[in-house]
Amino acid sequence: MLSVLIIGTGGIARLHAEAYRNMGKSVRISGIVDTDRDRAAVFARKHELADAPGFSLYTDYHEALSKGCFDLVSICTPPPFHCAMSIDSLNAGAHVLLEKPMALSLEECDRILEAAEKAGRCVSVMAQNRYDTSKARIHRLISEGYCGRVLYAQAYSAWWRGAEYYDTWHGSWETEGGGCALNLAVHQIDLMLWLAGSIGELTAFIANVNHSNAEVEDLALGIVRFNSGAAAGGLGELLGSTVHHGEGQRLLFQTERAGLAFPFQITASRARTGGTPENDPETVAELTALCDRYPPLAVEGFEGQIRDFVSLIETGATSPFLPDGKSGRAAIEVVMALYKSAAAKRSVDLPLLPDDPFYTRAGLLEHAPYYNRRA
């Protein structure tokens, strides 16, 4: 039986707890930690942990790691704690499931990856949106070459948040580490990289257009050039926002053979005489039939990722969907490149190397644009 510790019992921890509990007897939540003891106690009662044999509630994660014996630690705290908590958990011999964003700098990500390598333990960074049947099907269509090259990709992460959202740890470079690009668009960025390929060049604009109580951006736009994968040589667009009424998360991949969109839609055009387009229902039917050949995912979302991670730990079984520490880092690199480009007002090349100011947290804090500086 796998013994799990959850650190941080706020909003997102509920989905971790529910996933572990749905897995039955093979996994047991044996400890939770929160600096807010009352919150942790409510969490323990709500998830029927409080009276379970061997269960402990802690307010200090160091104490939990030294007293308990955990195989897996779910880190559900705000981003500034992710690096130290991951490294300490790995050093204590546990595997780590880390909430997004992986960390607040590439240097922190690299320290986590080094600790995992040294300890011989695994890291998975939450990117639960991969665990969606239509995305899984499109991933297979693209990766198995049925659509040809990806010529253009769009990742559109449009949210709306009121001022209260930023009256918390959100909204400051120090406590959130960035704005909508880091904390919200990171999901769509992960999907873009996973489905299309890596980015070699990026130009961005960011702004704070409607949240006077936030230091960070509430709007981010990036144009990218891909340098590997199905999209190598192609271009893409990124949007992160907390000012979009109605919200809407969209992805679009224009491939040689068809347009693939989420919410799920396949379109295809073919040339009439003179090169003007007409619909190509045969290609749409062919790709739709190929999609239908791939069975739906048995479990989607958080629980899908958590089940895959537990299988990896228990049996070594790998999954084409499971996000690891390297994919978590790749998404952070795109966000840091976006901040660098916006601050420098020019196009930047990836990778960002260790001597780049945007590789470290100190560099980001020095060079980031502070829109409404907090005291």
Among 4, 5, 6, 9, binds ligand NAD (CB under 6 A): 9
Q: Give 12 or 365: the residue with its C-beta nearer to ligand NAD.
A: 12
Q: From CA 336, how far away is CA 196, in angstroms rounded?
A: 19
Binding residue count for ligand NAD, defined by CB under 6 A: 23
Query: Whole-angstrom Cα distance, residue 125 to residue 96?
Result: 8
Residue 183 binding ligand NAD, by CB under 6 A:
yes
- 140 vs 48, 135, 159, 332, CA distance in Å? 39, 9, 28, 24
Q: Which residue is nearest to ligand NAD (CB)?
A: 10
Verify binding: residue 39, ligand NAD, rule CB under 6 A: yes
Of the candidates 307, 304, 326, 308, the residue with the CA atom closest to the CA atom of residue 318? 308
Name the minimum Å distance from CB 102 to ligand NAD: 9
Q: Which is nearer to ligand NAD, 27 or 180 (CB)?
A: 180
User: Which of residues 9 and 341 has its CB atom nearest to ligand NAD in the complex?
Assistant: 9
Output the smallest distance, CB 315 to ligand NAD, in A: 25
Strand segments (E) across 242-333: 243-255, 259-262, 265-267, 269-271, 277-279
Look at the chain and count its residues: 375
- Pairing state between β 2-7 and 27-33: parallel
CA atoms within 13 A on the CB side of 201: 8
In eight-state DSSP terms, residue 56 is E
Query: Which of 31, 68, 79, 325 forms a contact with ligand NAD (CB under 6 A)?
Result: 79
Q: Report 114-153 residues binding ligand NAD (CB under 6 A).
A: 126, 128
- The whole-angstrom separation of Cα 294 and Cα 141 is 10
Is position 12 an interface residue for ligand NAD (rule: CB under 6 A)? Answer: yes
308 is a site residue for ligand NAD (CB under 6 A): no
Q: Does 32 bind ligand NAD (CB under 6 A)?
A: no
359 sits near ligand NAD (criterion: CB under 6 A): no
**Is residue 333 part of the contact set for ligand NAD (CB under 6 A)?**
no
**Quick one: CA dihedral 252, 239, 346, 326, positive or negative?**
negative
Query: Which residues make up the interface to ligand NAD (CB under 6 A)?
Result: 7-13, 33-36, 39, 61, 76-79, 81, 99-100, 126, 128, 183
